[in-house]
Structure formats: C-alpha cells, structure tokens
Amino acid sequence: MSFTPGYLLQTLTLALLLSSVQASQNVSLPHISSSPTNASQVIDPRLASFSMEFSYLPTFGGNKTHPNVLTQELMQRLVERTGVGPDVRPGGITIDSSIYSPNASALELDMSPSGGIYRTTYGPAWFESLDVFSDSSPIVVTVNLGNDTISIARDQLATHIKTIGWSRIRALELGNEADHYAGNQRPSTWGSADYTAQYLGWTSFLTRNLSLPTHIFQAAGFADFWSVKEVIGEGITTTNTVKVFSQHTYQYSTCDPARNAIATLPNLVNHRNITSFLDQWKPHIAAAKQAGAEFVVGEYNSVSCSGKENVTNTFGQALWLADTVLYGAVIDISRLYLHQGATLVLQSSTQANTPGFSWYDQWYPTTSDRFGDPHAGPSFVALLLITEAVGSSTKSQIALIPTPAFPQLAVYAIWDPTARPSRDGPARIAILNLATRNVTATPEQVDEESVVLDLGGYVRKGKGRSATVKRMTSTGLDATDAGAATWAGQSYESGKANGTLVVEGLSAGKVTVKGSEGVLVFF
C-alpha cells in the first residue's frame, strides 16, 4: 500500500468527519409505538391553511385577467403534496369596516393621510381574486360585525354564498376579534355575554333570512380577552349554529415597545416557548370537542402588528412555523390559518412598523420598496415540510415523541395507514432541531448543536428496505436570503423548485440534524 497524497487526503477527511460526529449529541429516543395508540385525531390535510387580510386579498390573488402568478405557483406546491388546496380566510381587522356594493370596483379603500384603512368597499370583481386558489381550497367567509348593522352583514353573506357557492364554503364568520370592540365599535362595557347575545340574535335572523344550514358558523375568533369556554358557558351552542370555534394566536408582538423588546429570534425559535404557548388552548379544544365542534386557530402568526425585521423574515420563522403547526396538530387543533398581509397603520399608535408587506409574510406577491420583486421568503419551505409530513391521506395521526434531555429538539411521529400498514410503525418522523445555528456559527458551534438520531429500528423489515430523508435547511437561523432556504436541496423563491432535488438516506440507520434545521424521514 503506497501513501499517495489522495489517500492521505481521504484519511484526513475521514478523521475530520469522525471528530465532527463525536462532538454531536447522540439522542436516544423512547420507543415509538407501532400503532397510533396515543396520537392526535386524524389530521386534516388542510392543517396548514391561510388567513389573508381582507383588503389585501386582491394584492395576493390578482384577478381574472391578471392572476398573481407567484401566489398561484406557491399554492400549487401545497396541492401537489396534500392533494387539496389549503383553506383561505379573507379576514382580519379590515373586515369590520367593510361593505359590499354591487356597483363598486374590486376594491375601494378610504384611507387616512398616514395610510390607515378606515373603510373597504368591494364589488363583484373582488371575488375574482379567489380564482387564484385551487377549486379545492375551501373559503371561510368573514363579514362585518363591528359596524353593528345586520343588513351590511346580510348583504355580504348573501353575495358571498351566491358567488362562491356552498361547495366551496367552509364556514361563515361574524366579525374579527370582537373582544377588541369595547370602547371602539361598541360601548366600553361590551363583554363576552354581549357578544354571545348578539351572535345568537344575528345567527337566528340570518339562518331564517338566508335559509342557512345548521352548524355553519365559525364562532369566537377572539384575540386576547375572551375564551371559547366562556361563550360556551353563555349558551352560544344552544341554537346549533356553531360548526367551528376559532381563536387567534400571536405569540409575540411589535404593537408596543414592551412587547417589541422580547420579540427576538431566540425567544421565538424555542420549542418550550412554542409548546407552552399553544398548551393554553387545551381546555378550549376539549370544550369545543365536547360541544361537537372543531377548534381552529383562525388567524395567527409569530409576531403581531405585521412581524419584525430580521426576526420574522428569517429562516427562523420557518422553524417556528413548522414546530407550531405540527405541535398544533398533536393537541388536536384542526387547522391553523397563517395570516398574510401588510402593516395596518391604524392598528396601534405605538407599533414599530411602517406601511408595507408584513415582515412575517411567507411571500411578497407584488413588487415593493421593502422586498423588491415578487418572491417567496425564507420561511415558505416550512410549508413543504409540513404538507409532506401530513401527506395526502386523510388518515394520518401525529404524536410528539418526548426528548427531555434535549429541550430544543422536537420529534414528531406520523402514522399513515395508506403509506405504511397500521401496527407496522410510523410512516414518517419529522425532527426539528431548534438549537441556534446562526450564519456566523463556527464549525465547533455547529458540531455542538448537531444531533444524531438512530432510526434504524423503524425501517421496514425485509430485503432492500430503507428510509429516505428530506432536509429543510439554510445557512443559518438568522439568514434572510430566500435562495439559501432549501427543502430537499431546492429553494422556492420563484414559487417553483430551483436546483437539484436531494433525497438522502439514513447513514447506518442514523440521521444527523444540525441546529436550526429540520428533516422529514420517510419509512
């Protein structure tokens, strides 16, 4: 054997590889049960759905002659993975100053000098924006409750039902965050019992007037002050109108300086923070179930008042999103509607943001000063991991596999009898390593935050059986470069896969996951 330089180089590389493996943490998992004995309800393939600020829907959707091509492509990427389009909820604060007029153009905004929208008038052409979404995307129809004028809501509902058709309607929703009306669109004494009474009165009139089916409303939709349990206690389910209960969840905020100060990447991308925040809805999820209704997060994002620069437009938002949605599924949240839009200057007089697309948007559908040409941001890839984890079956169930020695590791097992027979083990395992790996991390830091998991025991028995691995990664947690954020080796800034598909295998049964990275293992 001669020691050629090539052989030396190989030996050196091998030594380097070994030393990096040694620094990584070996994670041993508790046994994952073969069948979904302790898992979630069956996951809705539309688990990852969207809410879009009502007055910006035309910006995201375009219209019949000018459909927004980026939105169309990105939605198609999701349809390819789950077989159906996500729900779309045109809603948000602007719904409560909206009015339908048959003579209006698509969208007519009355704005304050600083750009605040205080009235949104929309006409028949507004509905063309919905055409950009797949026919299999159900629509949540939200109408104006804030104005306190039932004829406005009635006319909106009648028009939406006639234009969209029942086959595409998920549910009807009255108003947005009614717990914020007091002292604003209602007297300062306005409380949850007043909301419940108005809900019952209006739904009773609307049911008769529009011949509505029973169990068709998405109720509650509160942001901060009232709860699903509270309105159930007040009798909101007594008339059989509620189909779904909704709660809005924003874990952090830039609406005021105190909350802005803690809206940081390390706080946001933290598995304990994410799970303890969502756990507060467990009693309300249980109460909704007991009342025979679904529980959804009808509007959410990471940081309210339109996100935060260098926090929610980073790859960190992808990790936050993947962990939030998968954990939401674990605790039986049926769907989560990720809010997209732009800064609403009337929302808060002390907010940090100025007008423009929200820093938390998954994509920027038109050219803007802030983000340049239309493109998807670095967090879009999380939706690909999520939709592939959920799959196109309508039979998947999910559980969180505890790894208490690694608090920033999130391991989710997904059972799916259409991909792997029941009682034969999980069909997929998603692993998110939320430990921080910044763009500037040294190789030593990268090694220290990396984890190695042995999944060999879950590979299907039989000759030639193996598992495949897809990886969601970027140059670092704080990377804002959309081109660097990849799913299975490909980036999606244009809405289409860019680059060569990279599907890995396990290495001697093991998979390595760096900090600020996620993988989905298919068995």
Ligand X SMILES: *[C@@H]1O[C@H](CO)[C@@H](O)[C@H](O)[C@H]1NC(C)=O
Binding positions for ligand X, rule: CB under 6 A: 22, 25-26, 33, 38, 63, 65-66, 97, 99, 101-103, 105-106, 119, 125, 147, 149, 151, 154, 185, 209, 262, 264-267, 270, 273, 309-310, 436, 438, 478, 483, 493-494, 498
Nearer to ligand X, 17 or 235 (CB): 17
- Report whether 83 contacts 392 (CB < 8 A): yes
Nearer to ligand X, 99 or 432 (CB): 99
CB of 85 to ligand X, least distance (A): 22
> Strand runs (DSSP E) across 24-135, as ranges?
25-27, 48-53, 88-91, 98-100, 107-111, 117-122
- Report whether 315 contacts 27 (CB < 8 A): no
CB of 498 to ligand X, least distance (A): 4
Q: Can you read off the two tokens belonging to residue 38?
A: 């302790």
Gap between the Cα atoms of 358 and 505, Å rounded: 37
CB of 83 to ligand X, least distance (A): 26
Gap between the Cα atoms of 361 and 338, Å rounded: 9
- Report whether 95 contacts 339 (CB < 8 A): no
CB of 371 to ligand X, least distance (A): 13
Secondary structure (3-state) at 34: coil
Nearer to ligand X, 13 or 26 (CB): 26
CB of 32 to ligand X, least distance (A): 9
Give Cα separations from 120 to 93, 183, 466 (angstroms). Answer: 11, 21, 55
Q: Give one DSSP letter per residue of 309-357, joined into a string.
A: TTTTTSTHHHHHHHHHHHHHHHTT---EEEEE-B--TTS-TT-S--SSB
CB of 233 to ligand X, least distance (A): 26
CB of 492 to ligand X, least distance (A): 8
CB of 340 to ligand X, least distance (A): 18
Gap between the Cα atoms of 448 and 453, Å rounded: 14
Residue (of 128, 35, 49) closest to 336 by Cα position? 49
Nearer to ligand X, 129 or 334 (CB): 129
CB atoms within 10 A of CB 455: 21
Residue 452's beta-bridge partner residues?
26, 512
Q: Can you read off the two tokens belonging to residue 388?
A: 């592939």
CB of 4 to ligand X, least distance (A): 28
CA angle 333, 378, 343 (to 5 degrees): 75
CB of 262 to ligand X, least distance (A): 5
Nearer to ligand X, 106 or 164 (CB): 106
Pairing of strands 428-433, 336-340: unpaired
- Look at the block and give the residue holding tokens 């002659």: 65
- Look at the block and give the residue holding tokens 């009165």: 201
CB of 197 to ligand X, least distance (A): 19
Nearer to ligand X, 354 or 418 (CB): 354
CB of 84 to ligand X, least distance (A): 27
Category of 278 on φ-ψ map: left (φ > 0), alpha (ψ -120 to 50) or beta: alpha
- Report whether 198 contacts 190 (CB < 8 A): no
Q: Can you read off the two tokens belonging to residue 378?
A: 């670095």
Q: Dihedral, CA atoms, 502, 517, 513, 463, nearest 10 degrees?
A: -40
- Report whether 36 contacts 397 (CB < 8 A): yes
